[in-house]
């Protein structure tokens, strides 16, 4: 699985660039890993384990040159729900199962599917998840510890009712962290702003009001300074059945985010990723990571972009990023005890803000087309119901609107200037794709009287037809035979021809009545009409 071609012409100069980029990305990834783990309802070290193990495997095995893998904010709503309902052990099993699903998707070459998801659906998807992530951090930002987990509206109602329990120390810490991050991003963007914000706010909280804010140490007991030993989650058939749909949700989210990240990487770097290998790499990472306590991982768009901007030249930068986080875990993990939980909230809030695709959301809304409806429906369903439901609604509406638009493109025109229509001959020219959404218009031919002698069907402008259209065409041909009307077919394009040959309908037609163009069919019909007239004259 290790792809040597990604390291061709590798040099010491490129290695230095990769080390530099990897360290920067590692610094960025460290606070995010802990914040995402905490937001997912698990210990902060599990996010670090995921960054180390999954990040390493995704860089080694995946199909992208610059993809940085690890825990991502997109997973937070799903992982938190699984943790609440099934617990941490079953979360590991669901992660393992999602890895198997991802690997199978890659093996069966489903990586290109991402290109067929409509843009309004992906925008609504990311914006909806951004809202969920942002709102989930409000209680931490406000220092409220007695808020029960649940649906977004349920949590917001609790926060509003219990506003009197807010902690001003937590709010102050979160605001300090937020301001530092914004200032660093504005004036010294070369420095990893989240880490600076985390350090500054932690120092201030420790020096001035150490007993008034919850920290990683007071809440979780600190972060162990070593990787956990290999642990095999309990795997039973009953658990597999129960966790299949949660695992499928994780796999689909992981596939979408990872492949979108790889596409962004391609646009920024000019390199091309291999989508199926990327899915296999993501699958391998999620299969292995749970055995070491890690949560599900995916390609991270922001970290991948940071990797490229800092001069990465190969997957080595991703490997360095994982090894850097490992060194921090081994030698600096005791320092994490003093990190306030409130400092984590603005980090994830800014991640949510940046991933919300605000400009594209506004652009699609202003278009006031069917895409605007798809966008709003996807967004609202994800926020108010469930991520899976939102995606299904968005895709379903996209398909319905597409069918509606294509049905308008299909035209059946009767008559032709080259051949005057009469009772003996009818000419029908078809334009546009014929499929289940437009076949009804073609079937309307059956409701009309058939000509006396010849029915000419021109398909020169029909690029595509499906099995529903084939069935309707078969009915027309059968009715023509029953009424002894000659069926003439003209201008059959490659895809319709292949379909009709596969279903054997083409072979049932008289070869003398199949023509490559409508002109040939018209001339043939004229000759037949003239012969018929001559025969009638001679007989009289």
- Structure token pair of residue 148: 């029960």
Residue with tokens 């962290």: 177
Lowest mean pLDDT: which of 67-71, 111-115, 194-198, 319-323? 111-115
Considering the domain boundaries, does residue 306 fall inside one?
yes
Provide the domain count of the chain: 2
Q: Please state the rounded mean pLDDT for residues 474-490.
A: 90
Overall pTM surpassing 0.75 (yes/no): yes
- Structure token pair of residue 510: 């008289």
- 528 and 430 co-located in one domain: yes
The helix/strand/coil state of 240 is helix
**For residue 16, what pLDDT is reported?**
92
Considering the domain boundaries, does residue 102 fall inside one?
yes
- 76 and 177 co-located in one domain: yes
Considering the domain boundaries, does residue 531 fall inside one?
yes
What pLDDT digit, counting tens, does each position of 132-164 carry? 989 989 999 999 877 777 778 888 889 899 988
d(CA 99, CA 95): 6
Question: pLDDT above 90 covers what percent of the chain?
Answer: 62
Question: pLDDT above 70 covers what percent of the chain?
Answer: 94
Q: Please state the rounded mean pLDDT for residues 466-490.
A: 91
The helix/strand/coil state of 342 is helix
The helix/strand/coil state of 361 is helix
**For residue 540, what pLDDT is reported?**
55
Write the CATH number for 465.
3.30.750.24
**For residue 360, what pLDDT is reported?**
93
- 424 and 311 co-located in one domain: no
The helix/strand/coil state of 268 is helix
- 358 and 436 co-located in one domain: no
- Structure token pair of residue 149: 């987990």
- 89 and 16 co-located in one domain: yes
What pLDDT digit, counting tens, does each position of 205-263 carry? 999 998 899 999 999 988 998 888 888 888 899 999 999 999 999 999 999 999 989 98
What pLDDT digit, counting tens, does each position of 294-326 carry? 999 999 988 999 999 899 999 999 999 999 999
**For residue 89, what pLDDT is reported?**
94
What pLDDT digit, counting tens, does each position of 259-290 carry? 989 988 998 888 889 999 999 999 999 999 99
Cβ pair 371, 394 in contact under 8 A: no
Q: Which strands, in side-by-side order, build the sheet including 486-490?
A: 411-414, 425-431, 454-461, 486-490, 514-515
- 292 and 182 co-located in one domain: yes
- 375 and 415 co-located in one domain: no
- 258 and 374 co-located in one domain: yes
Q: What angle do CA 294, 298, 303 make, to 5 degrees?
A: 105
- 370 and 279 co-located in one domain: yes
Residue 184: give the domain boundaries. 11-383
Considering the domain boundaries, does residue 469 fall inside one?
yes
- 363 and 502 co-located in one domain: no
**For residue 1, what pLDDT is reported?**
47
Considering the domain boundaries, does residue 389 fall inside one?
no
Mean pLDDT of the chain: 89
Cβ pair 37, 45 in contact under 8 A: yes
- 371 and 484 co-located in one domain: no
d(CA 102, CA 337): 35
Q: What angle do CA 512, 513, 515 make, to 5 degrees?
A: 100
Question: Last residue of some domain: 336, 366, 383?
Answer: 383
Question: Last residue of some domain: 383, 401, 425?
Answer: 383
- 351 and 499 co-located in one domain: no
**For residue 447, what pLDDT is reported?**
65
Fill in the DSSP letter of residue 50: H
pLDDT at 486 over 60: yes
Considering the domain boundaries, does residue 392 fall inside one?
no
pLDDT at 6 over 90: no
3-state secondary structure 446-469: HHCCCCCCEEEEEEEECCCECHHH
Note the maximum CA span of the chain. 118
d(CA 245, CA 488): 52
pLDDT at 417 over 60: no
Fill in the DSSP letter of residue 432: S
What pLDDT digit, counting tens, does each position of 350-408 carry? 989 988 889 999 999 999 999 999 999 999 999 998 888 998 999 999 999 988 888 88
pLDDT at 412 over 90: no
């Amino acid at each position: 699985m290790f792809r040597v071609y990604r390291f061709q012409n590798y040099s010491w100069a490129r290695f230095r660039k990769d080390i530099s980029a990897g360290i920067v990305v590692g610094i960025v990834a460290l606070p995010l890993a802990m914040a995402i783990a905490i937001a997912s309802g698990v210990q902060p070290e599990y996010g670090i384990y995921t960054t180390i193990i999954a990040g390493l495997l995704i860089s080694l095995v995946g199909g992208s040159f610059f993809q940085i893998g690890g825990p991502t904010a997109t997973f937070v709503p799903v992982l938190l729900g699984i943790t609440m309902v099934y617990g941490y052990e079953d979360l590991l099993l669901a992660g393992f199962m999602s890895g198997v699903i991802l690997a199978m998707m890659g093996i069966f070459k489903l990586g290109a599917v991402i290109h067929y998801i409509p843009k309004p659906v992906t925008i609504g998807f990311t914006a909806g998840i951004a809202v969920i992530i942002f709102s989930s951090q409000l209680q931490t930002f406000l220092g409220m510890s007695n808020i029960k987990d649940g649906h977004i509206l349920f949590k917001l109602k609790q926060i509003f009712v219990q506003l009197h329990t807010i902690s001003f120390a937590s709010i102050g810490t979160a605001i300090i962290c937020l301001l530092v991050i914004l200032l660093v991003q504005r004036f010294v963007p070369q420095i990893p702003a989240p880490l600076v914000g985390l350090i500054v706010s932690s120092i201030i909280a420790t020096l001035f009001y150490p007993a008034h804010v919850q920290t990683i140490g007071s809440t979780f007991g600190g972060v162990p300074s070593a990787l956990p030993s290999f642990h095999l989650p309990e795997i039973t058939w009953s658990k597999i059945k129960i966790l299949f749909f949660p695992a499928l949700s994780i796999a689909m989210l992981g596939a979408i985010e990872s492949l979108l990240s790889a596409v962004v990487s391609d646009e920024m770097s000019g390199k091309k990723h291999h989508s199926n290998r990327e899915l296999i790499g993501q699958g391998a990472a999620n299969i292995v990571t749970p055995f070491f306590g890690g949560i599900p991982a995916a390609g991270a768009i922001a970290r991948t972009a940071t990797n490229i901007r800092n001069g990465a030249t190969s997957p080595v930068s991703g490997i360095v990023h994982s090894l850097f986080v490992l060194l921090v875990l081994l030698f600096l993990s005791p320092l994490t005890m003093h990190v306030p939980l409130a400092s984590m909230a603005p980090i994830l809030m800014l991640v949510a803000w940046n991933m919300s695709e605000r400009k594209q959301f506004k652009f699609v809304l202003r278009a006031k087309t069917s895409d605007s409806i798809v966008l709003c429906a996807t967004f609202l369903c994800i926020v108010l119901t469930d991520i899976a439901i939102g995606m299904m609604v968005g895709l379903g509406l996209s398909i319905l609107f597409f069918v509606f638009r294509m049905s308008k493109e299909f035209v059946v025109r009767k008559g032709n200037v080259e051949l005057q229509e009469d009772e003996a001959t009818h000419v029908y020219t078809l334009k546009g794709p014929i499929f289940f959404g437009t076949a009804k218009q073609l079937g309307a031919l059956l409701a009309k009287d058939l000509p006396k002698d010849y029915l000419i069907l021109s398909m020169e402008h029909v690029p595509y037809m499906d099995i529903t259209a084939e069935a309707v065409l078969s009915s027309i041909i059968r009715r023509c035979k029953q009424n002894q009307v000659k069926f003439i077919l003209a201008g059959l394009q490659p895809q319709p021809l292949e379909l009709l040959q596969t279903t054997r309908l083409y072979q049932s037609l008289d070869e003398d009545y199949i023509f490559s163009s409508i002109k040939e069919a018209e001339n043939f019909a004229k000759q037949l009409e003239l012969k018929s007239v001559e025969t009638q004259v001679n007989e009289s």
